[in-house]
Amino acid sequence: MNSLLNTLLKQLKTFPDTPHYRVAYSGGCDSHVLLHALVALRDQLPVTKISALHINHGLAEEADRWAAHCENVAADLGIEFQTVEVDAMGQAGESPEAAARQARYHVFAEQMNAGDGLLLAHHQDDQAETLLLQLFRGAGVRGLAAMPRCVDFSSGWLARPLLGMSRQQLRDYAEEAGLRWIEDPSNQSAEFDRNFLRHHIIADLLPRWPALSQTLARTAQHQSSAGKLLDELAQMDLGTLSGSRAACLSICGLKQLSKERQDNVLRYWIRLRGILPPSTVQLQRIHAEVLSAREDAQPQVDWADSMIRRYRNDLYLLSTKSNIAQSMSWDLKNNLNLSAERHLTIKQQRGLGLKASLQGRTDISVRFRRGGELCRPAGRRQTHRLKTLWQEWDVPPWEREHIPLIYIGDEIAQVVGYCLCEPWQATAEEDGLVVTEFV
């Protein structure tokens, strides 16, 4: 068996089981080799389906011709083919490379079915280039780990089975197999960072250090191992930092850690929420402006669509996108959509929640705080200002305007998630309506 085929087969066997290999197929030499080799190994694989997915960025005049070429190759190999057109122009200030990459991965994620394996043709030289690009950007351990070999992705997983092979090995295979591939002229343009690095930096280093790509790829593996150890440490630290409310961190607990461990656990905590971690400068601001602030202060640090805030001894990670719903009527008969992400659900249960006899009334509404609201929580003799109750319940100020208030006429009947109000709660002998919020 060809050495590339043998290496590829060994790599594929280390990946999770899947019913479907989807190959990201640009039509270039690397992805053509991966697709051709995968089909050559088809009889030795447990996978029942192999397909090619081509992204037409529409940036080159030849884009449609390239898509047609890819479709013909897939037909010759006897596999399914799909092409998706994307807008890869990007926004003002965004690099063309980043915009195209974001568009590609968005399509990849959309096309995945449960358990699918997406295979990319990145190789050892790509890995070396990625490490150097990250180094020039001042990346930390995770960035210097470059591209992972296999990770969870969308509803399946993504893998790069050729990371241990060089560009030349793939080219040798392609020529030996008589493959015809696309040569994108933009790959020669030094306008793009990766091309400049490949043609003007690495090319000058290779005569002196011939094993440069292999060495840098090994360095990326070392960084990947170090990153996993840091994540394990962060996971242990996170287990000791529970705040007074769910999803919060204890600031007192954080301050017991060294500065380095604080940074590590903060980045890990933020990544767990699927949010882009803050830069080094922004992390320094979190220390200086949030963690070091007085306990009664309410500082915040923003980045991208996220922000860090504190309330008393708790650290909060929040979205900067406003999600305040408008007031709306509700007859308590069916669930209520407050927004695309927020819903009020209703469940009948005897002796709990609001009186079921309220169903069908026309004076029921869901509103949000404007200031000056009053209510009498069930079991209390006195009416209280809602502001006083927020403070009693330790509700952070920025959350208060987002909490649904169920009104009967002009009286608050329920502060969702916190209390029922007199005289609207069901007694033990009455049918009740339990209202909860689902986000």
Domain that holds residue 294: 241-319
What is the rounded CA–CA span in Å between residue 377 and residue 187?
A: 68
What is the rounded CA–CA span in Å between residue 396 and residue 70?
A: 55
The answer, yes or no, to whether residue 110 has pLDDT greater than 90, is: yes
**Residues 27-45: pLDDT tens digits?**
999 999 999 999 999 999 8
Q: Do 258 and 278 lie in a common domain?
A: yes
Q: Do 348 and 395 lie in a common domain?
A: yes
Check: pTM over 0.85? Answer yes or no.
no
Does a structural domain hold residue 62? yes
**Residues 373-398: pLDDT tens digits?**
999 999 999 999 999 999 999 899 88
Q: What is the mean pLDDT of residues 92-107?
A: 77
Does a structural domain hold residue 261? yes
Does a structural domain hold residue 169? yes
How many separate domains does the chain show? 3
- Please report, as a single letter, which amino acid is at residue 258: S
The CA angle 333-337-339, to the nearest 5 degrees, is: 165
Q: What is the mean pLDDT of residues 303-307?
A: 89
What is the rounded CA–CA span in Å between residue 36 and residue 318?
A: 46
The answer, yes or no, to whether residue 1 has pLDDT greater than 70, is: no
Q: Do 270 and 158 lie in a common domain?
A: no
Q: Do 210 and 290 lie in a common domain?
A: no
What pLDDT sits at residue 125? 95
What pLDDT sits at residue 426? 95
Does a structural domain hold residue 29? yes
Considering 163, 184, 217, which residue would you say is the last residue of a domain? 217
- CA-derived radius of gyration, the chain: 28
What pLDDT sits at residue 304? 85
Does a structural domain hold residue 15? yes
**Residues 127-147: pLDDT tens digits?**
999 999 999 999 999 999 999
Does a structural domain hold residue 229? no
Residue 96 pLDDT level (bands cut at 50, 70, 90): low
- Beta strand 431-438 with 300-303 is unpaired
Q: Do 132 and 173 lie in a common domain?
A: yes
**Residues 204-241: pLDDT tens digits?**
999 999 999 999 999 999 999 999 999 999 999 999 99
Q: Do 312 and 341 lie in a common domain?
A: no
Q: Look at residues 321, 316, 157, 343 and name the one whose alpha carbon lies nearest to residue 244.
A: 316
Residue 101 pLDDT level (bands cut at 50, 70, 90): confident
The answer, yes or no, to whether residue 102 has pLDDT greater than 80, is: yes
Helix axes 29-40, 63-77, angle to 10 degrees: 10
39: left (phi over 0), alpha (psi -120 to 50) or beta: alpha
* Per-chain mean pLDDT for the chain: 92
What pLDDT sits at residue 298? 82
How crowded is residue 168: how many other Cβ atoms within 10 Å of its Cβ?
Answer: 12
| CATH code of residue 63 | 3.40.50.620
Considering 167, 184, 217, which residue would you say is the last residue of a domain? 217
Q: Do 23 and 82 lie in a common domain?
A: yes
Sequence-ordered list of residues with C-beta below 8 angstroms from that of 76, at least 6 positions apart, any chain: none
What pLDDT sits at residue 94? 62
Task: Please report, rounded to a whole number, the percentage of residues in the chain having pLDDT higher than 90.
Answer: 77
Q: Do 68 and 151 lie in a common domain?
A: yes
Q: Which residues pair with 99 in a beta bridge?
A: none
What is the rounded CA–CA span in Å between residue 55 and residue 107?
A: 8
What pLDDT sits at residue 91? 66
What is the rounded CA–CA span in Å between residue 125 and residue 213?
A: 5
Considering 217, 252, 285, which residue would you say is the last residue of a domain? 217
Residue 341 pLDDT level (bands cut at 50, 70, 90): confident
What pLDDT sits at residue 415? 97
Q: Which residues pair with 303 in a beta bridge?
A: 306
Residue 342 pLDDT level (bands cut at 50, 70, 90): confident
Q: Do 340 and 308 lie in a common domain?
A: no
What is the rounded CA–CA span in Å between residue 312 and residue 295?
A: 5
Contact 353, 437 (CB under 8 A): no
The answer, yes or no, to whether residue 324 has pLDDT greater than 80, is: no
Q: Do 146 and 295 lie in a common domain?
A: no
The answer, yes or no, to whether residue 92 has pLDDT greater than 80, is: no
| CATH code of residue 298 | 1.20.59.20
Q: Do 198 and 108 lie in a common domain?
A: yes
Does a structural domain hold residue 235? no
Q: Cα torsion at 409, 412, 416, 420 (round to 10°)?
A: -120
Give SS3 for 136: helix
Tokens describing residue 220: 């990326």
**Residues 57-77: pLDDT tens digits?**
877 788 889 999 999 999 999
Q: Do 309 and 370 lie in a common domain?
A: no
Name the residue with higher pLDDT: 174 or 95: 174
DSSP per-residue codes, 260-298: HHHHHHHHHHHHHTT-PPPPHHHHHHIIIIIITS-TT--
Does a structural domain hold residue 86? yes
Phi, psi (deg, nearest 5) at residue 207: -60, -35
Q: What is the mean pLDDT of residues 160-171?
A: 96
Residue 103 pLDDT level (bands cut at 50, 70, 90): confident
